[in-house]
Chain A
């Protein structure tokens, strides 16, 4: 039915809000990144200075490098662990919903909550290292969280723990979408269980792999809460990520233009990953409606 005025009226507030508070604000921040704003926002155009300055900042380079490490390990780690857990749970086990609940509960908690738990767990003076010494493993050392080079890996561990359950749920849904008769055909054709997964089941999980990748990639770029709670960017600035950089430079160091520029780059990175995905999803819809 063609939309009557009332329908458009009902939709308009949301359209307006999104237009202003999402796209309008993006444009504003984008504009700011081309100004010379420091503590307060000025709106006069002054060229791409902020970007130039940004690229030259050690803090930014470090943040981006950390993001590379973090995102790669996070995506691969969650992917492998999530797939493994999904395959295990798909084996018609008893207490399936119990196991699923345990793997998924971290997703219900705030990163601040879980970051707090992991923070002390990883602290060498009271955490895991101490526990291992207490049971006699004296040479065990886990001071990563205090080590400039290794702190980011602690964030990876906590992040993989938090999100693997979600990836597991994704893959489980994908596995259950595989036609059972095709698996039966493979059994009759002589394929051993591992081969069935490799040749018949995993190739059909393409959509799940893509969804998992897109969501994990965008989450890693946005990662903020977990780092704050776990290491607060430390030791020093060793575990900074672009999200922390943006917050610090905008609100604490009074370099608004540089902060805005970093936010714009974060947006572009996400857009590169997400836009093709959205186009695929909405184009498919177009055919049905």
Chain B
């Protein structure tokens, strides 16, 4: 069984704390996505799991074995790097076979593994080429092939698609997902792209400032973000945020006096209220009042930017509705669609 357990992992670089008390339990075969903005510590966490760096505290267990003090070579973990990190002086075949060679696997068996791995990834015709002769997508596959060859207990992917162009990225995303379904190897996948995060992972861990903001399924992260950061990070276009005040009766009032919703239990005073663009609609009975300042048709959808006076919001509509630039409109907010966060800590209140 190759389940991964991170307990109390933290990391200091000098006096700067880069990772705070990371706890993750990943059952065998699961695909976890680590997502967060640059500098949130996700690459550091990957390096710690791989054994390329030592944690300042905490423990790592893989398949029940404590690997915290084990070197990277002996952890039975494979990694696909952002820049692919292929050996420039070796052929594709030699690249894929290298980890096997380092483990003393005899040549005949190495050749067999290279053949089967390259067939799976459809790079069999590239075996005699050098990395510099390959395109970005081809190098990607070779990097994945090298990681597969070892049949590891854990796969780590460190932003593998960020160097590819948009169309290739979409194709490779699907390939990686299919690969996981076929091999069933426990996988951690790091990305800063939230679309990749939502589509690939069975669970997502959102990181910021070195700590996990929320660890849950994509659906839960989207519909019930645990704090303001997660709400604003996931979702495109981003969630609309309002500064509101909660009165004793539980009503959430905007600066212009409009009531955007209610929160039965909670602190009085300042709160933050978020509503996703697709939950809003332009209706005559809407609570909010404003003027359309920009219309962005994208084909399947149209985004309307509406100026409410104290803030600007985005409303997402399907198709090509008839909205007029400059028109005065009212926007409806369904009561169940609001996300309320504490003004200071950002934690979810509802």
Contacts and interface: CB of A to CB of B under 8 A. Distances in A.
A–B direct touch, CB within 8 Å, in complex?
Answer: yes
Interface of A: 179, 181-182, 184-192, 195, 199-200, 203-204
Contact of A185 (B71, B74, B77, B81): B81
A184 B89 contact: no
Given A179-B83, A181-B81, A181-B83, A188 B50 contact: yes
Interface string B18-40: 00000000000000000000000
A204 B85 contact: no
A187 B102 contact: no
Nearest to B74: A190
A204 B88 contact: yes
Interface in B236-293: none
7 contacts: A187-B71, A188-B73, A188-B78, A199-B98, A200-B87, A200-B89, A204-B89
A184 B81 contact: yes
Q: Which of A186, A188, A190, A203 has the most CB of B within 10 A?
A: A188
B72 A182 contact: no
Contacts of A199: 87, 90, 98
Interface string B63-89: 000000001111001110111011111
Nearest to A206: B89
B52 interface: yes
B146 A203 contact: no
A185 B89 contact: no
A195 B73 CA distance: 12
Contact of A188 (B77, B82, B87, B88): B77
Given A179-B83, A195-B102, A190 B73 contact: yes
A190 B103 contact: yes
B85 A184 contact: yes
B103 A185 contact: no
A191 B81 CA distance: 17
Contacts of B79: 184-185, 188
A200 B78 CA distance: 18
Contacts of B71: 187
Contact of B52 (A182, A188, A191, A200): A188
Nearest to A203: B89
Nearest to B78: A188
A182 B139 CA distance: 13
B297 interface: no
A185 B73 contact: no
A189 B146 contact: yes
Nearest to A183: B85
A189 B81 contact: no
Q: Which of B50, B77, B89 has the most CB of A within 10 A?
A: B89
Nearest to B50: A188
A179 B73 contact: no
B235 interface: no
Nearest to B150: A189
B145 to A, nearest CB: 13
Interface string B116-147: 00000000000000000000000000000010
- Lowest 7 CB-CB distances: which A-B pairs, in order? A190-B102, A189-B99, A203-B89, A190-B73, A181-B85, A185-B85, A182-B85
A184 B50 CA distance: 10
A192 B73 contact: yes
Nearest to B131: A182
A179 B85 contact: yes
Contact of B88 (A182, A187, A189): A182
Nearest to B149: A189
B86 A182 contact: yes
Contacts of A195: 102
A123 B81 CA distance: 58
Nearest to B87: A200
Contacts of A187: 52, 71-73
Contacts of B150: 189
A184 B88 contact: no
